[in-house]
Chains A and B, each alone.
Chain A
């Protein structure tokens, strides 16, 4: 026994020598360093994310409220209903703005003369009449009444109120002069000015006026486009993947197809847009700017991603499951339909939803098929002109009015909410499918 034990003592063993101790310490140090690199990388990534979310939220949050002015408006029948029919269809829509102006002049009788009155009108939105018209609606009984309404302030006032334009700036450098500011301060002192919830942002479509512009049309456009994309890309993608993975013979042709699918996944999206322009619009003559064409273009673009992820999911199903089913006397189709596809489904869905999330944020190819059209009402079908969320962001980011800056960020926030919701759905679906096993 002692002879065997002798070489194991600390002084003789290679693994306990001083050099070995050194190596050990070096290994610990390397592991420590690696851990620190990892944590640093995560910290940088998190920081970027936080900065991104913070700036967007700071910019965008203010878009959810709007500065408004309370006025006592008299719905003058002579102006609103010039024909005197009391039929809402005969109301003069343009006259609502005049009525508001009258209310404003009554509120500030000291403003006399053309210039003073023009400046006074600069306090309120040039499209305030639209809001009043909505308030009155089709109610003929409102004629002749005097009502208190909150009217959106002009973009300049709104921006000053939100601190985006410095009111201490030199008078010449701001869109609102001292007199206008004094009137506005008077309103504020009387409690006749304050923030109201910007419901327009969620209920209306694009407009030239920031206070009238909303995201609803773009949301509907995005939803319609994604419906087209999903209903084309998912069945075609799954069928392709299943055929290539489970049925196709492995030969030159299928190799070639595989290589090309992988290449297509890397083709810049604008190329798909040009393809859509040439084929769907110019050759087939499908309607421009429509969710149908946009969805088709994006479906083409998403197909490679969906096929690749579906094939990976199918490959991940263990061959023993196929053998088990075939050994039970299932045909190849039954094997795939009963066992392989259901097992691959969570993976396929994950891939598909990631592809859909990309599709939701896709802009360039949609510009090519005209989805940057100025659309002032939500599309009512797949063939209507429509815009989509990211294109709306693009359009607003380009708009000159100050008010669109915050709208852009707010639109990005809505886009992010949709993305998070989609990813949440992906996780939920995956869990649901997994539980069935």
Chain B
């Protein structure tokens, strides 16, 4: 489908979905999604609520596996490799494709332990000083270091909402993933914390490929290079964010971004 592959050419597709269909039991939530996700870019998924944005995002690191009734068809690749290949190890996949959830969900442990959990799990480091370095680097990348460096042993759940979400980003970053998925990461946060995270996403783009679900159009416009508009389980259109917001090709997209429904 040429209309969804956007402005390919020079850029490399880090991940790609072809004909992705998702079923919850008998009900089909996605009707065949074709999309490319480019390296070191932020792809925003927008659309009215219930249209399948989260569902699609969760197919990208197979978090849907945890839902008994959920079934995925079609093909999703990471660096050209099919991630639904039975031979592929899902634990390894999730180390390469990290996730940040809608509600900040730090472990009820210390800030330090939150960050080192992933690296320990995947054997990224063994010595204390290596872990210390990972903690510092991850927190710096998440823009949280200066705020928490003196209380690394305090519980992560004691931080403010915005700080908790940045801790979750730091935790995801700590395992050195290639792709980071974010499902409405700012919907539970106040405007200042949101601005903080948006800035952070822009910085993270240098090292990671990012897919972000948002229902805030300004946010999509601010942080993403490309935007995909979902509607009732279909991918209506995908392209450069500027293009989508200034010159949408589909009238459903236009209706949504001008606020006629949503």
Contacts and interface: CB of A to CB of B under 8 A. Distances in A.
A and B held together in a complex: yes
Interface in B98-136: 98-99, 101, 103, 105-109, 117-118, 121-122
A323 interface: yes
B235 interface: no
Interface in B160-204: 168, 171-172, 175
A329 B63 contact: no
Contacts of B66: 322-323, 326
A328 interface: yes
A339 interface: yes
A339 B107 contact: yes
Interface string A282-311: 000000000000000000000000000000
B168 A330 contact: no
B116 to A, nearest CB: 11
B168 A324 contact: yes
Contact of B107 (A321, A326, A329): A321
Given A320-B105, A321-B105, A437-B157, A328 B63 contact: no
Contacts of B175: 328-329
A327 B155 contact: no
Nearest to A328: B118
A331 interface: yes
Nearest to A331: B91
A437 B94 contact: no
Given A324-B105, A437-B155, A437-B157, A329 B92 contact: yes
A345 to B, nearest CB: 12
Given A323-B105, A334-B121, A328 B171 contact: yes
A328 B105 contact: no
B61 interface: yes
B103 A328 contact: no
Most buried by B among A250, A318, A327: A327
A355 interface: no
Interface in A318-348: 318, 320-331, 334, 338-339, 343
A326 B63 CA distance: 8
A323 to B, nearest CB: 6
B101 A330 contact: no
B95 interface: yes
A327 B99 contact: yes
A328 B94 contact: yes
Contacts of B94: 326-329
A422 B108 CA distance: 28
Contacts of B63: 323, 326-327
A381 interface: no
Contacts of A318: 105
Interface residues of B, number: 28
B68 interface: yes
Given A249-B68, A334-B121, A437 B98 contact: no
Contacts of A322: 66
A250 to B, nearest CB: 7
Nearest to B96: A329
A320 B157 CA distance: 13
B106 A330 contact: no
B91 A329 contact: yes
Contacts of A329: 91-95, 118, 121-122, 175
Interface in B3-62: 61
B103 A320 contact: yes
A343 B168 CA distance: 19
A327 B100 CA distance: 8
Among A249, A328, A331, A339, chain B packs the most CB atoms within 10 A around the CB of A328
Given A339-B107, A437-B109, A328 B98 contact: yes
Contacts of A437: 108-109, 155, 157
A32 to B, nearest CB: 40
Nearest to A437: B108
Interface in A364-381: none
Contacts of B108: 321, 343, 437
Pick the most buried of B95, B108, B118: most chain A CB atoms within 10 A of its CB.
Answer: B108
Given A250-B68, A323-B63, A328 B101 contact: no
Nearest to A335: B66
Nearest to A338: B117
Nearest to B156: A437
Contacts of B93: 329
A406 B105 CA distance: 58
A375 to B, nearest CB: 48
Nearest to B117: A328
A437 to B, nearest CB: 4
B158 to A, nearest CB: 10
B105 A330 contact: no
A435 B46 CA distance: 42
A250 B69 CA distance: 10
20 contacts: A250-B68, A318-B105, A320-B101, A320-B103, A322-B66, A323-B66, A324-B105, A324-B106, A326-B66, A326-B94, A327-B61, A327-B63, A327-B101, A327-B172, A328-B175, A329-B92, A329-B175, A330-B121, A339-B107, A437-B109
Interface of A: 249-250, 318, 320-331, 334, 338-339, 343, 437
Closest 9 CB pairs of A and B: A320-B105, A329-B94, A327-B99, A329-B95, A437-B108, A324-B105, A328-B118, A329-B91, A331-B91
Given A323-B63, A324-B168, 15 more contacts: A318-B105, A321-B105, A321-B107, A321-B108, A324-B101, A327-B61, A327-B98, A327-B172, A328-B94, A328-B171, A329-B91, A329-B95, A330-B121, A437-B155, A437-B157
